[in-house]
Structure 1
Amino acid sequence: MDSTKNSSEMAINVSESRSGKGKAAAVAAAPAVVTATTKATPYKAGGWKRGVAIFDFILRLCAITAALAATTTMGTTDQTLPFFTQFFQFQASYDDFPAFSFFVIANAIASGYLVLSLPFSIVCIVRPHAAGAKLLLLIFDTVMVALTTAAAAAAAAIVYLAHSGNSSTNWLAICQQFTDFCQRVSSAVVASFIAAVFFLFLVVLSAVTLRKH
C-alpha cells in the first residue's frame, strides 16, 4: 500500500510540474505574439508614408521641369518682323509686357524653390513620420500654387488679347504678324499651368500625410 501511495504521489507531482511548465511556457509565449503585432503596425504605416514621400519627390522633379520650361521659353521669346526700314523696326519681346515679365519672375522663383525643396523631400523619404518637414513643404507649396496660378492667369489674358484683340479699345491682334512670338508665349503659359497643377497635387499629398498623423 505504501509503495502504491508513493507512486501515485510521484505521478501527481510529475503531472503538476508538467502542467505548471506548460502554463509557464504559454505565458512566456504570449508576450512574443503581442510584441510581433506592435512591431508590425509602425512598419506598415511607415512603408505607406514612405511611398507617398517618394511620389512627392517625383512630382517635384516634374514640377521643376514644367516651371523651368515656362521660364526659359518666355524669357527667350523675341521676334523681329522681316519687313522693316532703316528708321522703323517691328519687334516683339516678352519684356514689352509687364505681365510677361511678372510671369518670368514668378516661375523662376517657383523653380528655385522646387530645387531647394528636394532635400526636405528626401528627409521625408528617410523619416516618413517627420511632421515638421511636411508642414513646411505644405506651407510653401500653397504659396507657390497661388504664385504660379496668378502668373499664368495674367499671361494668359495677354495671350488672349494678342490672338483675338479687342475692337472696343482698338487693340490689334498682333499674332497675325508675330506668329512665332505668340506660339512661344502660349507654350510657356501652358507649361506654367502644368506646374501649378503639380503644386496642387503636392499640397494634397502633404495634407493627407499630415492628417494621418
Structure 2
Amino acid sequence: MKSGDSTTINVQDGATPKGKGPVPEAPLPSPGGWKKGAAIFDFVLRLGAMVSALAAAAAMGTSDQTLPFFTQFFQFQASYDDLPTFQFFVVAMAIVAGYLVLSLPFSIVCIVRPHSVGPRLLLLVLDTVALTLATAAGAAAAAIVYLAHNGNPNTNWLAICQQFGDFCQKVSGAVVASFVSVVALVTLVVVSAIALRRG
C-alpha cells in the first residue's frame, strides 16, 4: 500500500510540469510574427507608392501636344510647364518618389527588427509629411484638370480637352496615379500607427 501510494504521487508530480510547459510558449511568437508581417506589408506598399509617384511625375512631365493646324508664326500648343500648378505637381511627386526610395532601407530594418520603435516612428512622421505633399499636389492638379475638361462659363474659361485630347489624357492619368500613391501613403501611416500602438 505504501509503495503504491508513492508511485501515484510520483506520477502526479511528473504530470504537472508537462501540462505547464507549453502554456506560456504559445502566445510568445504571435506578436513578433504580426509585427514582421506588418513590416513586410509596409515594404511592399512602399514600393507600390514609389512606382505610382514616379509614374505620376513622368506622365505629367511628358505631357505636351501641338495641334496639327498651325503656321510658321502661329501654333496651338499645350504643355505642363504652361501652368505653375502642373510644374508644382511634377516637383512634388518627384520629391515623394525620391523620399520613398530613401525610406526603403528603414523599412528593411523594421522587417529585420520588428520590435524596434525608432525607425518605425521616423517613417510614420516622414510618411505623414509625404502624404501632405502628395495630397496637395494631386488636389491642385485635379482642379486644373477639371477646368480643362469642363471649363467655367461664369469666368469664360473654355474647356480645352476637345482640342487637346492627348494632353488631357496624360494629365488625367497623372492625377489618378498621384491619388493611388496618396491612398498607399495613408495605408502606410495607419499600419505604422497600429504597429506602434501595439508595441
TM-score norm. by structure 2 comes to 0.90
| 2:64 equivalent among 60, 63, 78 | 78
Q: How far 1:54 sits from its partner (Å)?
A: 0.8
Deviations 1:20-49 (A, max 9, x none): x939x649x739945x54444332210111
Give the secondary-structure state (helix, strand or coil) at the position aligned to 1:113: helix
CA distance in 2, matches of 1:101, 1:64: 19
RMSD: 2.2
CA distance in 2, matches of 1:32, 1:94: 71
- Does residue 211 of the first structure (1) align with residue 188 of the second (2)? no
| 1:67 equivalent among 39, 43, 53 | 53
Q: How far 1:174 sits from its partner (Å)?
A: 1.2
Deviations 1:1-25 (A, max 9, x none): xxxxxxxxxx97x789x67x939x6
Give the secondary-structure state (helix, strand or coil) at the position aligned to 1:163: helix
Deviations 1:34-92 (A, max 9, x none): 5x544443322101111111111111111111111101000111111111111112111
Give the secondary-structure state (helix, strand or coil) at the position aligned to 2:46: helix
Q: Which amino acid aligns with 1:125?
A: I
CA distance in 1, matches of 2:157, 2:19: 79
Q: Which has the larger radius of gyration?
A: 1
Count of equivalent residues:
199
Counterpart position of 2:17: 30
CA distance in 2, matches of 1:30, 1:210: 36
Can you give the 5+ residue segments of structure 2 that lack an aligned partner in the other structure? none
CA distance in 2, matches of 1:204, 1:152: 20
Give the secondary-structure state (helix, strand or coil) at the position aligned to 1:79: strand
CA distance in 1, matches of 2:134, 2:106: 21
- Does residue 49 of the first structure (1) align with residue 9 of the second (2)? no
Can you give the 5+ residue segments of structure 1 that lack an aligned partner in the other structure? 1-10
- Does residue 195 of the first structure (1) align with residue 181 of the second (2)? yes
Q: Which amino acid aligns with 1:169?
A: T
Query: Aligned ranges for residues 1-213 of structure 1 at < 5 Å?
Result: 22=10, 26=14, 30=17, 33=20, 36-213=22-199
Deviations 1:109-137 (A, max 9, x none): 11011111111111111111011111111
Q: How far 1:164 sits from its partner (Å)?
A: 1.0
CA distance in 2, matches of 1:66, 1:114: 11
Deviations 1:164-193 (A, max 9, x none): 111221111111111100000000000000
Q: Which amino acid aligns with 2:17?
A: A
CA distance in 1, matches of 2:99, 2:25: 37
Percent identity of equivalent pairs: 62
Give the secondary-structure state (helix, strand or coil) at the position aligned to 2:27: helix
TM-score norm. by structure 1 comes to 0.85
Over 2 Å off, 4+ runs: 29-34, 36-42
Q: Which amino acid aligns with 1:98?
A: P
